[in-house]
Amino acid sequence: MRKLILLPLTFLVLLAAFNFVPALAHTALKHGDVQVEVGWGNEPALVNQLNTITIEVTKISDGKPIENALAQADISVSKGAIVKPLEFLPQEKPGLYAATILPSQTGQLSVMIKGTIGGQAFDDTAKIEDVEDSKLLEFPRTTGGDISQEAIKQLQTVINDLTAQVDEANIAAKEAKSAAASSAELKTAVDSAYLFGMIGIAVGVAGIAIGVAALSRREKV
């Protein structure tokens, strides 16, 4: 019984001694005799850290790489409703292709492949490892009171929105003030016109009265 317990422990010790690090998972897509393996070039992928998305194309039957495999394929990356086409370039290793990308948000990305690869039709979506916060590998770790770059970016967006709203409110206030001033000027103009009109009417009435009086005097003479 002790031997059964000691064997796994010995294996773990050997792994630690040789600094064994298990490979992070890539997503494999298979059609016919063609396998397409999709993943990050550098894992784990960190936000705001330049990286690559890699695609390795091989034959399933013999494991040999397929060169110039992506010439007839359209490949893009998506996060939610946002889609970006990718340009994959062949690497030194035969059958391996990479596209440079700078992840700007944490979370999972999807790689969409559509076209013909190695004579096989592909119309697939491969989900790759999540993009992690750079604090995952940060050393020495910052204190809990520090704000991450992503949080600062979000706060800046909120501040910009509030600033825009304040500017719009100021413009609306100025327009309202201008409209009020115009209204006051219009009211003053109307009042002046009314006053001059009344004066004109009064002068006209006085003129008629004077004319009537003059005619009356003339008839008496």
Return the pLDDT at 10.
Answer: 45
The domain that holds 129 is classified in CATH as: 2.60.40.10
Q: Which of 102, 121, 141 is the last residue of a domain?
A: 141
The reported pTM is 0.54
Q: What is the pLDDT of residue 220?
A: 46
Residue 162 counted as domain residue:
yes
Q: Same domain, yes or no, for 119 and 151?
A: no
Same domain, 25 and 131: yes
In terms of domains, do 167 and 192 share one? yes
* 79 and 114 assigned to the same domain: yes
Residues 209 and 126 in one domain: no
93-111: pLDDT as tens digits: 999 999 999 999 999 999 9
Clarify whether residues 75 and 175 are in a common domain: no
pLDDT higher than threshold 70 for residue 175 = yes
| Count: domains in the chain | 2
Encode the chain in three state secondary structure.
Answer: CHHHHHHHHHHHHHHHHCCCCCCCCCEEEEECCEEEEEEECCCCCECCCCEEEEEEEEECCCCCECCCCCCEEEEEEEECCEEEECCCEECCCCCEEEEEECCCCCECCEEEEEEEECCEEEEEEEECCCEECHHHHCCCCCCCCCCCHHHHHHHHHHHHHHHHHHHHHHHHHHHHHHHHHHHHHHHHHHHHHHHHHHHHHHHHHHHHHHHHHHHHHHHHC
Q: Give the domain extent around 169.
A: 147-221
pLDDT at 130: 94
Residues 158 and 102 in one domain: no
28 and 122 part of one domain = yes
pLDDT at residue 43 above 70? yes
Tell me: the pLDDT tens digits for 44-87?
999 999 999 999 999 999 999 999 999 999 999 999 999 999 99
Q: Are residues 152 and 129 in the same domain?
A: no
Q: Is the pLDDT of residue 156 over 90?
A: no
- Percentage of the chain lying above the pLDDT 90 cut: 49
* Residue that is written with structure tokens 């010790």 in the block: 13
Quick one: 180 and 220 in the same domain? yes
Mark whether 124 and 172 lie in a shared domain: no
